[in-house]
Structure 1
């Protein structure tokens, strides 16, 4: 039995070792050996350069805004979904956009937000425009939020769906209002879904680079765009790897802060 156990574990271990652990080690090694010898010069430059620090703050700020707006839209939608009939059909409609290639969706929004696009044509009916919507912070955050919404709705929907209706009925019988039921029962018990959604949105948003280029133009600068610049334009792989290592550390920190230890049971109080 032990031999069979190791036999089935071997492919998984090889996959993790070759495509997860080894690339991470290579990135870390490249970040330390940019000048031919092992040094922390790149890390020192990163933490002493105001430009890198500004890009780090920008990455956190944009990721926070995208996550916040996604949560504000997704939570009510997920809650309403749990009350509808034919829930599987509505969930399918929400999941369908995720099947479309990200690049195609980005180019679709370029057409929508362009000076001769759908939005400006609509504003022209009221004598407004053309308005420069594309290549702005608003356009970048709007498109990123739209793309990430399904990944926030699904975990919240599952968390709300698992709440025992008897708890809500008991609260109503005891005279709790709808707001009190939501505040003391639904919201605390759905927090695991919210935390999973925050992980699914915030962590990828830290490293966005394609949307920042296509939708935000050169006005939206993040760590993701910096990594792309160092690897593809300046060919400074050592500095690009350094930024990648720092970005990975930040992602791990976010996962720890929103991880299992925060998913403790909460008392239901009325």
Structure 2
């Protein structure tokens, strides 16, 4: 019976995962030239400095956003894990509630806050200060990424910290370790699985997003996600768009492999 219960999932995976992936791979290695022919031209186009710049900018912004999420998210996860259970559940709920709102609406909300006639500039004009340009720059794009993806960093770290054996921390204190030493030798190594999961969960959507860069970047910041969307919806070049998608998947898989290997090395280490 268990054997047959897996069949619906297998059929679902074939139809909605494997088959579309085969189509994307097929499009990436073909083009129309008096008929459908096999070619590597789609991948050769990616060597164009314009597209290289897009990839470098996408990875750079994604790494910065991931780092900011880690710096902000780790202390928040520690606060959540150290709070009483009743208060902790309320805090976690308040942290998750914004995620219930549509991703597009959350991004649009920042446009009304950062815009020339938005809340911040209106407050500055009221106080007699000159307005500032807060939209359509790297800072706005990074802010949008951090706001939307921060929960993906906090929750995995919080889950690991909340399940940590508190007797280890008490033992470290009994042996004379101060808070800094306890954090560096005990808490941080044990929380690395959550950190690695959080980094992966933030970096992947950050490097492939196109809504945030289009709205908060004003279309001036072409990222990998925007390039793929443009090829499929505007240029109608599905072959080159598929090649870009394949390269993006390869980059993400490489990043995940690095994170997975590092996570295994940390898990196999010892607490000194």
Same fold (TM over 0.5): yes
**1:27, 1:245 within 8 Å by CA — same for their partners in 2?**
yes
**2:228, 2:245 within 8 Å by CA — same for their partners in 1?**
yes
Q: CA deviation at 1:261?
A: 6.4
Q: Which residue of 2 aligns with 1:202?
A: 203
| Cα distance in 1 for residues equivalent to 2:77 and 2:153 | 9
SS at match of 2:37: coil
| Cα distance in 2 for residues equivalent to 1:192 and 1:127 | 49
Q: How does 1:59-208 map to 2 (within 5 A)?
A: 59-85=58-84, 86-208=87-209
Normalised by the length of structure 2, the TM-score is: 0.94
Q: Which residue of 1 aligns with 2:49?
A: 50
Q: CA deviation at 1:218?
A: 2.4
Can you list the C-alpha shifts for 1:191-229, whole angstroms capped at 9, x where unaligned? 000000011100111111011111111222211111111
Q: Which runs of 5+ in 2 are unaligned?
A: none
Q: Which residue of 1 aligns with 2:256?
A: 255
Q: CA deviation at 1:57?
A: 0.6
Q: CA deviation at 1:255?
A: 1.4
Q: Which residue of 2 aligns with 1:34?
A: 31
**2:209, 2:226 within 8 Å by CA — same for their partners in 1?**
yes
**1:137, 1:219 within 8 Å by CA — same for their partners in 2?**
no
| Cα distance in 1 for residues equivalent to 2:37 and 2:211 | 33
Aligned residues: 265
Q: CA deviation at 1:131?
A: 1.1
Q: Which residue of 1 aligns with 2:230?
A: 229
Q: Which runs of 5+ in 1 are unaligned?
A: none
| Cα distance in 2 for residues equivalent to 1:266 and 1:115 | 52
| Cα distance in 2 for residues equivalent to 1:5 and 1:171 | 47
Q: CA deviation at 1:242?
A: 0.5
| Cα distance in 1 for residues equivalent to 2:31 and 2:18 | 21
Q: CA deviation at 1:116?
A: 1.1
Normalised by the length of structure 1, the TM-score is: 0.95
**RMSD across aligned C-alpha pairs, in angstroms?**
1.2
Taking structure 1 as reference, are residues 142 and 261 closer, same or farther at Cα in structure 2, changes over 3 Å only? closer
